């Protein structure tokens, strides 16, 4: 049974793991008495709002507080960010379990990060380190490993019906990101592709997406949204933001989130102020 033109809620579930037991890290050598810092974990989840028979939907949460200073701003930011010294942000791609050709996956993911990097009004930058079989995105881990990875897994058990999740670890109290991973769901009820069309940034739908029995998802479309979460831009749910890449819903066969809109660029420029190009 087709999963319908299901509305995919990119429900930012801030599983803000403000743990009762601090996650250990090595204390600074010069001041060991201060003890180890602790981390916070935030998980952004793409969920199906209406789900095919037999597949229970996830429960959305409220997410971390945004920084929406004006009602007409088309972005939301929780003031967590990468330290300047960690930019460019390095990332790896693990192809293990990929349901489609690895070259296509690599093309879609790198293009997703590049679209944010190409914004001329901010100084965010990424460095692609290549593919890896050594590093995996941490789905159920109790501390960050400091290696930023995009990879695949069947998320049916942990996050039923999720298209993908992005996991961000930050230093508690300092609001600095230390680790970021994205996991794309390889479960069989999603039909992944990397569309190789004419390259029109305004092309909004996969050709023929309504002609099969699966939920059609484009790697670059999903990852451009997820890369926005790597910057700690939150999801938006107001109808006025429906055309923004960070809008919290996607549709079966959607392509429009491959490109950035005014709210998306305003958001990244708010966090990483100042052009470098």
Convert the pLDDT of each residue in 34-65 to its tens digit. Answer: 545 699 999 998 764 443 333 333 333 334 44
> Is the pLDDT confidence value at 247 over 70?
yes
pLDDT at 32: 39
What's the mean pLDDT in 129-148?
Answer: 95
Q: Share the mean pLDDT of the chain.
A: 79
Q: Give the integer Cα–Cα distance in Å for 41 and 43.
A: 7
Instruction: Walk me through the domains of the chain, giving residue ranges and CATH numbers.
Output: 7-271 (3.40.390.10)
In contact, 252 and 204? CB cutoff 8 Å: no
Predicted structure pTM score: 0.81
Here the tokens at position 210 are 């309504």
C-alpha span between 224 and 109 (Å, rounded): 8
What percent of the chain clears pLDDT 70, i.e. is strictly above it?
72
CA distance 233 to 267: 7
Which of 50-64, 168-182, 185-199, 200-214 is predicted least confidently?
50-64
Spatial neighbors of 164 by CB under 8 A, at least 6 apart, are 46, 155, 182, 183, 184, 185, 222, 226
pLDDT at 212: 64
Q: Which pLDDT belongs to residue 49?
A: 43
**Angle subtended at Cα 45 by Cα 269 and Cα 169, rounded to the nearest 5 degrees:** 65
**Is the confidence at residue 148, as pLDDT, over 80?**
yes
pLDDT for res 70: 52
Q: What is the mean pLDDT of residues 80-93?
A: 97
pLDDT at residue 128 is higher than 60: yes
- What is the SS3 string spanning the chain? CCCCCCEEECCCCCCCCCCCCCCCCCCCCCCHHHCCCCEEEEEEECEECCCCCCCCCCCCCCCCCCCCCCCCCCCCECCCECCHHHCCEEEEECCCCCCCCHHHHHHHHHHHHHHHHCCCCECCCEEEEEECCCCCCCCCCCCCCCCCEEEEECCCCCCCCCCEEEEEEEECCCCEEEEEEEEEECCCCEEEECCCCCCCCCCCECCCHHHCCCEEEEHHHHHHHHHHHHCCECCECCHHHCCCCCECEEECCECHHHCCCHHHHHHHHHHCECCCC
Confidence of residue 76 (pLDDT cuts 50, 70, 90): very high
Question: Are 106 and 150 contacting, i.e. CB atoms less than 8 angstroms apart?
Answer: no
Q: Token pair of 164, please?
A: 């993908």
Please tell me the least confidently modeled range out of 52-66, 207-221, 226-240.
Answer: 52-66
| Nearest by Cα to 108 from 195, 168, 176 | 195
């Amino acid at each position: 049974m087709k999963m319908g033109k299901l509305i995919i809620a990119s429900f930012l579930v801030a599983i803000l793991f403000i743990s009762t037991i601090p996650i250990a890290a090595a204390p600074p050598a010069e001041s060991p008495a201060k003890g180890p810092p602790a981390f916070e974990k935030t998980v952004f989840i793409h969920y199906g709002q209406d789900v095919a028979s037999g597949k229970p939907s996830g429960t959305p949460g409220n997410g971390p507080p945004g920084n929406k200073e004006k009602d007409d701003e088309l972005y939301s930011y929780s003031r967590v960010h990468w330290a300047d010294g960690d930019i460019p942000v390095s990332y790896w791609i693990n192809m293990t379990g990929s349901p489609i050709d690895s070259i296509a996956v690599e093309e879609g993911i790198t293009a997703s990060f590049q679209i944010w990097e190409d914004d001329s009004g901010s100084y965010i930058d990424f460095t692609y380190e290549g593919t890896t079989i050594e590093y995996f995105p941490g789905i159920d881990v109790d501390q960050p490993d400091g290696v930023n990875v995009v990879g695949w897994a069947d998320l049916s058990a942990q996050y039923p019906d999720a298209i993908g999740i992005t996991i961000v670890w930050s230093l508690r109290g300092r609001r600095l990101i230390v680790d970021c991973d994205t996991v794309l769901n390889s479960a069989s009820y999603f039909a992944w592709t990397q569309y190789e069309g004419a390259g029109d940034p305004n092309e909004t739908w996969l050709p023929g997406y309504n002609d099969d029995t699966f939920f059609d998802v484009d790697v670059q479309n999903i990852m451009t949204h997820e890369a926005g979460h790597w910057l700690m831009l939150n999801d938006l749910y107001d109808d006025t933001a429906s055309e923004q890449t960070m809008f919290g819903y996607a549709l079966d066969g959607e392509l429009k989130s491959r490109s950035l809109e005014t709210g998306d660029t305003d958001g990244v420029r708010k966090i990483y102020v100042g052009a470098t190009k």
